[in-house]
Amino acid sequence: MNSFNSHSDALDLLRRANPVLRQEVADRADSSIAVVGIIERAGDRLRDPERRLVRRRVVSVALLVLALLVVAAPALALRSNIVSFFSSPPPPQSVQTVVYRMAEGAPAGMDPGLIPDRARVVTSMQYGGVTRDLWVAPTKAGGLCYGWVGLGGGCDKFGTLPLDVSWGRTADGGAIAHVDGFVHWRYADNLELRFADGTIVRPPLTRVTAPIDAAFFSVDVPKSQQDAPHTLVAVSAVKDGEVVSTQEAPIGSLGRPNPLLDAEFAKSTHELAIKTAAGEAAIVTAPTRYGGRCVWLELAGQRYFVAYCEPARYSFDSFSIQPIVTDKTVLLAGTIGGSVDRLEIQFADGDRTVVKPSTRGFALYSIPPLHLTSGHEAELIAGLDRDGTQLTSYRLPRDGRCYSSLPKALAPAADCPNAPLP
């Protein structure tokens, strides 16, 4: 498991759950380590330095473990265990302290609105031979926060995320050793785990009644399934037998997880289009089956990542710009919002240009031929507020493994976030 070894790392994780600009976080955060303590030892989320530009929102991060006997297909349906929220006891004083610190430790703009005095201990599970209690609490906006005592915790501020998954890989990274998370009951009534050998498992769920209305799961994958031919490859939330949301396992041998699995492509809308040396480029959106929205770039018959699909009431990141590199041009595609009013592109020769987003917060810019040569290339992408103050920025590598300010004959490696999607 990855751990977060600094206050900054912890705040970055929390920012992705309720995003504000990094500078705003620095201005608002104090020296309290309460937030660090809550989200430390979080679920394994891949952290690639070249992926800082496109920061995925992590809505919840917890380590939950429950042994599960894997059965062969067809899938075995197991009834969920229903726990009454109002009949559950409040947490002991030591846990209440953690809950209150979690409620009070979030910087402004990232506060999930946890209601600490309504926290309840709803169940317990075994992890490494130790019984750990699970506490849950509602948020002011209709969502939930939760935590496993001694491990991690997290929040879904609005209660609109259908499926949340944390992945634990084997030591060599070649297979999944455990998986855990929750489904919101309004969107899903079952869960399916799909393995590389065709096995499908529906694990037991612990459902907590309103106002939480979510079912928690945890699976310790048997050793016999912890190799490439048998590993867990995907988790899906299911409603009335139909898949609502799917997440793929982050295993290198399987390729990069597809971030658009939840998009309803038949209902897609072209938001913004421009002509480029590589052909017409368009930012496209599509709804999800749970009221959310997905966005991507289409160019020369290929789809490219722009941002992760967002559930209802959540917004795309306020500064998430993806450089798309081809053999003919470099495009900047992404989302802008919040305090960021526009982009400023700064070039090596001193030139600058401003990019205004569309009315729905999308930006698409093709770097002109003059600035696709050495000494004239784009160097910095800055986010400015309405007064022209720089709020955040990203320095574009001249010739990085994934990102580049100059065209490249070879496409980025398949595991790069700006590589064509499958």
Q: What is the pLDDT of residues 220-231, one digit of tens each?
A: 899 999 999 999
Q: How confident is the model at residue 371 (pLDDT cuts 50, 70, 90)?
A: very high
Considering the entire predicted model, what is its pTM? 0.80
User: Is 60 exceeded by the pLDDT of residue 320?
Assistant: yes
Instruction: Using alpha carbons only, give the angle 193, 13, 185 rounded to the nearest 5 degrees.
Output: 40
Q: Where are the alpha helices (DSSP H) in 64-112?
A: 93-104
Positive/negative CA dihedral, 385, 388, 390, 392: positive
CA 253/CA 259 separation, integer angstroms: 17
At residue 51, the pLDDT reads: 32
In 61-161, where do the E strands start and end?
Answer: 81-83, 120-127, 130-138, 144-148, 153-156
User: Average of pLDDT values for 116-126?
Assistant: 88
Check: CB of residue 414 under 8 Å from CB of residue 399.
Answer: no
At residue 174, the pLDDT reads: 93
Check: CB of residue 29 under 8 Å from CB of residue 10.
Answer: no
- Cβ–Cβ contacts within 10 Å for residue 252, how many? 12
Q: How confident is the model at residue 71 (pLDDT cuts 50, 70, 90)?
A: very low
User: Is 80 exceeded by the pLDDT of residue 239?
Assistant: yes
At residue 80, the pLDDT reads: 65
- Point out the least confidently predicted range of 81-85, 255-259, 287-291: 255-259
User: Average of pLDDT values for 286-301?
Assistant: 97
Say which residue the tokens 């229903």 belong to: 82
Check: CB of residue 207 under 8 Å from CB of residue 188.
Answer: no
DSSP SS3 for 237: strand
At residue 151, the pLDDT reads: 77
At residue 398, the pLDDT reads: 86
Q: Which of 210, 261, 200, 260 is closest to 232 using CA atoms? A: 200
Mean model confidence pLDDT for the chain: 81
At residue 129, the pLDDT reads: 60
Side chain identity at 243, as an amino acid letter?
V
Pairing of strands 144-148, 130-138: antiparallel
